[in-house]
Amino acid sequence: MAGSSVKRLDDPNYMQTAGRALDILALLEDGPSLSLSELSKRTGLSPSVTYRLLYTLGEHGFVKQHPGSKDYSIGDKAVMLGLTGLQEKRIMRAARKLIGEWWLQTGHIITVLCLIDKKAVVVYRINPMPDEADTLYVGASYPLHTGASARILLANMPEEDRREYIESLFIERSAKETLTEDMCRIRERGYDYTEQMMTKGIWGLSVPIFDARGELVAGISTGDHIENNSPDYIQDRLAQLRQLAVKIQDRL
């Protein structure tokens, strides 16, 4: 492992500090926790350099130190990234071609989000009209109660998990009750529609995607400028989105 970063020192684009941090994560990914001295030995770095790298990774949630043993292991942030990659691979293996065809036919925004660690994480997005107000991008995570793209996941997650999530929010009791009612309504009708909740001047429309066992896999959403929101137009877009979701589900 010590040579993995050193081998690239002749590459002017290679950042040695980042490479060393990734070396540490690679050592920890196999599962067992490791001590500072063991990580220092395996990377070939001094204990002080190893500690500073671990401290920085820990500050960003990529590693964690166990209080008792003081050993280090993979942190929640790294786990979340891994889960995002696995979920993205699963859903996009089935959906990428269909989404591309749908976008070529319609030219509309399309976003795929997965439920990971009680957050809505964007795993795929095509936006033909990006601007500074656009707040959705691949890899970003968002609260489950914000915007149609995320709310469709909250509405269709297991009831106990949904109740626990809503109870954890720092909002008024009346707001929690309203949100609970909204989620029940979204779940029953099978879609969500919001206006300017995530991005100013944009409405959002979303539907869930389930696997063959009926388990929630992802949410898929589209949107448009707020002036294009006539009832007939929204219904046409909803029908298109539902057809796409069914095609994706058939491939899972």
What are the pLDDT tens digits along the chain (252 aa)? 544 555 566 778 888 889 899 999 888 876 668 999 999 999 999 999 999 999 999 999 889 898 888 899 888 777 667 766 666 667 878 888 899 999 999 999 999 998 887 889 888 888 876 665 566 777 778 899 999 999 999 999 999 999 999 999 999 999 999 999 999 999 999 999 999 988 888 899 999 999 888 999 999 999 999 999 999 999 999 999 999 999 999 988
Residue-level pLDDT at 3? 47
2-74: which CATH architecture?
Orthogonal Bundle (1.10)
Q: What pLDDT does residue 117 have?
A: 78
Q: What's the whole-model pTM score?
A: 0.69
Topology annotation, domain 80-251? Beta-Lactamase (3.30.450)
Q: Where exactly are the structural domains of the chain?
A: 2-74, 80-251
DSSP conformation letters of the chain: -HHHHHTTTT-TT--HHHHHHHHHHHHHTTSS-B-HHHHHHHHT--HHHHHHHHHHHHHTTSEEE-TTT--EEE-HHHHHHHHHHHHHHHHHHHHHHHHHHHHHHH---EEEEEEETTEEEEEEEE-SS--TT----TT-EE-TTSSHHHHHHHHHS-HHHHHHHHHHS-S-HHHHHHHHHHHHHHHHHT-EEEESSSSTTEEEEEEEEE-TTS-EEEEEEEEEETT---HHHHHHHHHHHHHHHHHHHHH-
